[in-house]
């Protein structure tokens, strides 16, 4: 579902740019978009480095997996998803289309929140009280907000 949402974002962004629907190209938006995109890539990479061999594309917990509390996991439960959201919003802003930014940002947010619900239910089932205690001291996606 996330991959479909990401691909839809790219296609919709490029189509709307080509049709010049909602275009609001400006250098500041482009720079903000580039900054968000780069921040998202770096955040995802940083998170993957701290997950090490526990990183998978699928929602799964293997025997011996532990709760990671280093790197971006000190403050966030799902930094890879935060990074992906930043990448998508940054890409859309860089294309210069605010409509696409809101529409595609919403689509990707919906897909990510759906996956987070599945992932957190699995982590509660696997780690129980340890996960619940761990999660209480971290934001889900955005520091100081959510």
For 31-89, write each residue's pLDDT tens digit: 888 899 999 999 999 999 998 776 666 766 667 668 788 899 999 999 999 999 999 89
Q: Please report which confidence band the pLDDT of residue 9 belongs to, taking 50, 70 and 90 as the band edges.
A: low
Domain ranges of the chain: 2-52+67-136
Is the predicted pLDDT of residue 107 greater than 90, yes or no?
A: no
The residues, ordered by sequence, that sit 6+ positions from 6 with a Cβ below 8 Å of its Cβ are 84, 88, 108
Mean pLDDT of 13-18: 65
Is the predicted pLDDT of residue 16 greater than 60, yes or no?
A: yes
Highest mean pLDDT among 14-18, 59-63, 115-119, 137-141: 115-119
Mean pLDDT of 9-30: 66
């Amino acid at each position: 579902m996330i991959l479909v949402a990401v691909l839809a974002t790219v296609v919709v962004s490029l189509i709307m740019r080509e049709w010049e629907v909602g275009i609001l190209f400006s250098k500041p938006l482009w720079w903000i978009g580039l900054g968000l995109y780069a921040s998202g890539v770096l955040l995802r990479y940083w998170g993957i480095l701290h997950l090490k061999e526990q990183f998978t594309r699928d929602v799964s917990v293997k025997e011996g997996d532990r709760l990671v509390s280093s790197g971006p996991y000190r403050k966030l439960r799902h930094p890879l998803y935060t990074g992906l959201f930043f990448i998508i919003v940054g890409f859309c802003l860089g294309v210069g289309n605010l409509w696409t930014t809101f529409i595609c940002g919403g689509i990707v947010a919906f897909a990510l929140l759906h996956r987070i619900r599945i992932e957190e239910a699995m982590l509660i089932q696997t780690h129980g009280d340890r996960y619940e205690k761990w999660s209480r001291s971290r934001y889900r996606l955005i520091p100081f907000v959510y």
